Amino acid sequence: MSNRVTAAITAVYGYVPEDVLTNERLEGMVETNDAWITERTGIRERRILGKGLGTSEIGVRSVLALCEKRGIDPSEIDLLICATVTPDHQFPATANIICDRLGAKNAWGFDLMAACSGFLYGLTTGAQFIQTGKHKKVVVVGADKMSSIIDYEDRATCIIFGDGGGAVLLEPNTEGLGVLDSSLHSDGGGCQFLHQKAGGSVKPATIRTVEAHEHNVYQEGKSVFKFAVTNMAEVSALVMERNGLTADTVTWLVPHQANLRIIDATARRMGLDENKVMINIAKYGNTTAGTLPLCLWEWEPRLKKGDNLILSAFGGGFTWGAVYVKWAYGA
């Protein structure tokens, strides 16, 4: 026991829609092939959320299951942060919609937009409210309905992204477990390489912007790749080293799932074997803010109290970072 209060992850849950968009199905939509996609990205399929449903659907399903698992009522949540680039509406915040649908009537909430690093930004922000003693139960959702902003005529982007996400519950801990360190970064100079051209205040929607597909993801993949591969690896190694961790004492690397080659480079820089890296990109593709909670959810049965996790991400903004989490439960 120590006097220092840390924010422990005490439950995790994820959600992916049932509709599976395989590489084979994409072959019928754009000029691409399974071999190219698998070799260049590691992705075999991704999930698609139905029409009329928004990102809040992923959040609501995740948080309801999370509360049930932890044995708490949504009314006990103090704060809900929703990291997403595909909010249900421009406003109000998707966090508010999720809280309303959950019956989390004592919570306040807000959306946080840091693209693929959104979950790490949310986790770090949420942890502050626990550490200061202000709140006892903070939920961080990372979720995206990327299919709502993808151009399914653009083979450079439509093969990468999918829909899904998850949520974690943060609670106070005095055993030295939970979110222990973070190194977060942003560089607005990266905007030119990865952004949505229209729909914001600079270029509001017009018939012309719709016709020009300017509401979809625009990405210069090669440039983003170069920045991602360097920065994600460097920041992950930095957080590992400054916490006295080594390849032997890191239990899991939890990397953003954008491209298998970026994940491999990060693991190599940290000196980690493949069997210490959470990888599910083949099944879900890149779900932006959703990838990290989806990994934690899938690997949760194998996690043990005291495991050292390095979560890391790189994404639009540019934004990137790594977070050191000491897992708080499990046999």
- The residues assigned a catalytic role are 116, 256, 286
Number of C-beta neighbours around residue 267 at 10 A: 21
CB of 79 to ligand UT7, least distance (A): 26
CA 162/CA 46 separation, integer angstroms = 5
CB of 209 to ligand UT7, least distance (A): 23
Please tell me whether residue 272 binds ligand UT7 under the rule CB under 6 A. Answer: no
Among 116, 146, 177, 217, binds ligand UT7 (CB under 6 A): 116
CB of 125 to ligand UT7, least distance (A): 20
- Binding to ligand UT7 by CB under 6 A, coded x per residue (else -) over 39-68, reads -xx---------------------------
- Binding to ligand UT7 by CB under 6 A, coded x per residue (else -) over 73-112, reads ----------------------------------------
Q: Which residue is nearest to ligand UT7 (CB)?
A: 221
Q: What is the DSSP letter of 161?
A: B
Three-state DSSP at 245 gives coil
Query: Binders of ligand UT7 among 137-196, rule CB under 6 A?
Result: 155-156, 159-160
CA 91/CA 73 separation, integer angstroms = 26
Please tell me whether residue 15 binds ligand UT7 under the rule CB under 6 A. Answer: no
Asked whether the beta carbons of 184 and 120 are under 8 A apart, the reply is yes
Asked whether the beta carbons of 203 and 33 are under 8 A apart, the reply is no
Please tell me whether residue 224 binds ligand UT7 under the rule CB under 6 A. Answer: yes
Both tokens assigned to 290: 């959703």
Both tokens assigned to 98: 């999720």
Residues, the chain: 331
Is the backbone of residue 285 left (phi > 0), alpha (psi -120 to 50) or beta?
left
Among 36, 108, 110, 299, binds ligand UT7 (CB under 6 A): 36
Three-state DSSP at 5 gives coil
| Largest CA-CA distance found in the chain, in angstroms, rounded | 62
C-beta of 160 vs 270, nearer to ligand UT7: 160
Please tell me whether residue 136 binds ligand UT7 under the rule CB under 6 A. Answer: no
CB of 115 to ligand UT7, least distance (A): 6
The DSSP result for 169-218, as a single string, is EEEEESSS-EEEEEEEEE-GGGGGGEEE-SSSSSS---HHHHHTTTTSEE
Stretch that binds ligand UT7, among 173-181, 224-232, 270-278, 303-311 (CB under 6 A): 224-232
Q: Which residues of this protein are in contact with ligand UT7, per CB under 6 A? A: 32, 36, 40-41, 116, 155-156, 159-160, 221-222, 224-225, 228, 258-259, 262, 286, 315-316
